Amino acid sequence: MFYRENGQFKTSYPEDQQIFPIAQDRVFVVLLLLVAFAAVPFFASDYMFRAILIPFVIMAMAALGVNILVGYCGQISLGSGAFMAVGAYGAYNFFARVPDMPLLPALLLGGLCATAFGVLFGLPSLRVRGLYLAVATLAAQFFADWMFLRVKWFTLDTPSGSVSVSNLQVFGLPLDSDVSKYLFCLTLLVVIALLAKNLVRGAIGREWMAIRDMDVAAAVIGIRPMYAKLSAFAVSSFIIGVAGSLWAFIYLGSWEPSAFSVDQSFRLLFMVIIGGMGSIMGGFLGAAFIVILPIFLNQFLPMVAGLAGFEISTTVVSHAELMIFGAMIVWFLIVEPHGLAKLWSIGKQKMRVWPFPY
């Protein structure tokens, strides 16, 4: 009842093909953006920014990138951490070595470094797929791990191996408060999400999905698998690289190569699986889930245990976290392979016909 499309007729193709064809969706998104940009800065605490909002925004961007590669183009990748690392260290090198390098171009250049790295390590996708491709992307991951640990040039030869940035500003405005950092990342996220959505509903998006669904048939109708796969790697690693540089510059401030280890890659993959592969919104939902779950468990489990009369240590919570992650992955793959995004659209469908059952 709330979600009926009755009366919303489209009279032109642009109208039919817009990102949010249903009016209720448009209203919802506008409200969401208003809340995110205008309301949240007033009401959120420092803790919320640092522990939830900023990581969520940056991880949502990274998950978006991973989704393009894994969800839309069907190329499994366990090297996302490496792409983030290349983005971060690339941006760092431009920022620290080039005098007066402004922040935004440095971040974008970091993204381009990640693109080059991604295309290089994406070449195996032209020969293999599935598990074999996963192994190839792991090669990228471990190689990047080593590169930023041992090749001192990347870290400007600091003795400790960790690097840091400070005094960030964009267009003259200093990024020192949590609110300013949050708004900066959010703006970038919205822009990138819009561009990504356009790509995904356009010709290249269809090519990616064709390759994912049946690449032999795709070749026969004139899609060149090489171009489609490498462009997926390129776009995806660019986005992941920018997210990586944001993660390093804005969230961490100072970091070591271990910040981008293979665990990060798995985390991103889980976000995409749980959130929903092949769906832009899925990246958001998955990132929210994975960012919030540990915090939720940290508060919830000790509380429940307290009610039952015994104490739980943080190690128990972290073990529980592992178990819940694992169980959720398996559960989603069995029950709803299209993840939270599918559950969301099922929910919308129910709202469409409420109060009738179908």
Partner 1 sequence: MAFFLETLLGGLMAGMLYSLVALGFVLIYKASGVFNFAQGAMVLFAALAMARFAEWLPQLTGLTQPVLVNLIAFVLAGGVMFMVAWLIERLVLRRLVNQEGTTLLMATLGIAYFLEGLGQSIFGNDIYKIDIGMPKDPVMAFDHVFPGGLLINQEDLIAALIAALLVALLSVFFQKTSTGRALRAVADDHQAAQSIGIPLNRIWVIVWCVAGVVALVAGMIWGSKLGVQFSLATIALRALPVVILGGLTSVPGAIIGGLIIGVGEKLSEVFLGPYVGGGIEIWFAYVLALLFLLVRPQGLFGEKIIDRV
Partner 2 sequence: MSKAIGDVILDVHNISLNFGGVKALSDISFNVREHEIRAIIGPNGAGKSSMLNCINGVYTPQQGNITFRGQTFSHMDSHQVAVMGVARTFQNLALFKGMSVLDNIMTGRNLRMKSNLLWQALRWGPAEREEIEHRLRVEEIIDFLEIQPYRKTPVGQLPYGLQKRVDLGRALALEPQVLLLDEPMAGMNVEEKQDMCRFILDVNDEFGTTVVLIEHDMGVVMDISDRVVVLDYGKKIGDGTPDEVRNNPEVISAYLGTGH
- Residue ranges that bind partner 1, judged by CB under 8 A: 74, 76, 123-124, 127-128, 130-132, 134-136, 138-139, 142-143, 145-146, 149-152, 216-217, 262, 266, 269, 273, 315-316, 319-330, 333-334, 337
Q: Which is nearer to partner 2, 88 or 114 (CB)?
A: 114
Residue 318 contacts partner 2 per CB under 8 A: no
For the window 157-196, what string marks contact with partner 2 as x by the rule CB under 8 A? --------------------------------------xx
Sign for the pseudo-dihedral over CA of 197, 198, 199, 200: positive
Q: Which is nearer to partner 1, 101 or 149 (CB)?
A: 149
Q: Which is nearer to partner 1, 144 or 163 (CB)?
A: 144
Sign for the pseudo-dihedral over CA of 83, 85, 88, 92: negative
Say if CB 103 and CB 171 are below 8 A apart.
no
Piece of the chain touching partner 2 by CB under 8 A; list 114-122, 201-209, 254-262, 286-294: 201-209
Rg of the chain over CA atoms, in angstroms?
Answer: 21
Say if CB 313 and CB 294 are below 8 A apart.
no
Q: Identify the CA nearest to 114 among candidates 293, 227, 236.
A: 236
* Two tokens, residue 291: 């960012």
Residue 14 contacts partner 2 per CB under 8 A: yes
User: Which of 39, 214, 346, 351 forms a contact with partner 2 (CB under 8 A)?
Assistant: 214
Q: Identify the CA nearest to 80 among candidates 322, 193, 247.
A: 247
**Alpha-carbon gap, residue 352 to 358, rounded angstroms:** 9
Residue 51 contacts partner 2 per CB under 8 A: no
Residue 213 contacts partner 2 per CB under 8 A: yes
Q: Which is nearer to partner 2, 113 or 192 (CB)?
A: 192
CA 84 to chain centre: 10
Q: How far is the CB of 233 from partner 1 (least distance, A)?
A: 15
For the window 264-293, what string marks contact with partner 2 as x by the rule CB under 8 A? --------------x---------------
Phi, psi for 333 (deg, rounded to 5): -65, -30
Phi, psi for 164 (deg, rounded to 5): -150, 160
Q: How far is the CB of 273 from partner 2 (least distance, A)?
A: 16
Residue 132, amino acid: Y
Residue 255, amino acid: W
Interaction partner, residue 14 (partner 2, partner 1, none; CB < 5-8 Å by kind): partner 2
User: Which of 209, 250, 269, 274 forms a contact with partner 2 (CB under 8 A)?
Assistant: 209
